[in-house]
Amino acid sequence: MADRAGALDRILELVVMLSDDMTRRLAADGLTTSRSAVLWHLHHNGPVPQRDLAEALHVTARTITGLVDGLEKTGFVTREPHPTDRRATLVTLTGKARKTVDTLEREQEGFVELLFGELTADRFDCFVAGLDHVLGKLRSAGLHPVLEEQ
């Protein structure tokens, strides 16, 4: 059996490498990880009221306001009138955001191939099962991603 402390060291090295790479890549488009999470949610779910966005991303109204303000100032989202609720506005992706997310998705597909393309199906399945186990342990311990106003 492999050394468990060594396995943790590898996970931590992976976290640092992926985090640094993602931070650099997103910064090239003027984004942060928190702002990109908003864009991904809107990309997959369409325009939503700001309060629904905050609930979906598990952040406070204040945090989502800061994130949306920043994205609006940099041309990634707009606030549009809600078609049925006069009190609400919809946070909507701009063309710039759609183009950026499309590019990120294509790059992600290439990264998936780089990381996993040479793994046999059995090794890949074992890897995913191991990740699911580790993530399940972390979630059951109460850990989860936290978005910050950036």
Q: Is residue 13 assigned to a domain? A: yes
Q: Is residue 145 assigned to a domain? A: no
pLDDT at 53: 96
- Rounded to whole angstroms, how far apart are CA atoms 39 and 92? 9
pLDDT band at 46; cut points 50, 70, 90: very high
Is 90 exceeded by the pLDDT of residue 146?
no
Q: Is residue 148 assigned to a domain? A: no
Structure tokens at 93: 């992706």
Tell me which residue range forms the domain holding 60. Answer: 4-140
More reliable by pLDDT, 61 or 149: 61
Is 80 exceeded by the pLDDT of residue 150?
no
What is the pLDDT of the chain when averaged over all its residues? Answer: 95
pLDDT at 1: 65
pLDDT at 144: 81
**Share of residues in the chain with pLDDT > 90 (%):** 92
Q: Is residue 150 assigned to a domain? A: no
pLDDT at 122: 98
Cα dihedral across residues 99, 102, 108, 113: positive or negative: negative
Q: What is the pLDDT of residues 71-124, one digit of tens each?
A: 999 999 999 999 999 999 999 999 999 999 999 999 999 999 999 999 999 999
Query: Comparing C-alpha atoms, which of 76, 75, 52 is closest to residue 64?
Result: 52
Q: Is residue 37 assigned to a domain? A: yes
pTM: 0.87
If you average pLDDT over residues 123-140, what whole number do you get? 96
Q: Is residue 59 assigned to a domain? A: yes
Q: Is residue 120 assigned to a domain? A: yes
CATH code for position 38: 1.10.10.10
The number of folded domains in the chain is 1
- Rounded to whole angstroms, how far apart are CA atoms 130 and 150? 32
Q: Is residue 149 assigned to a domain? A: no
Spatial strand order of the sheet with 89-93 comes to 48-49, 89-93, 77-81
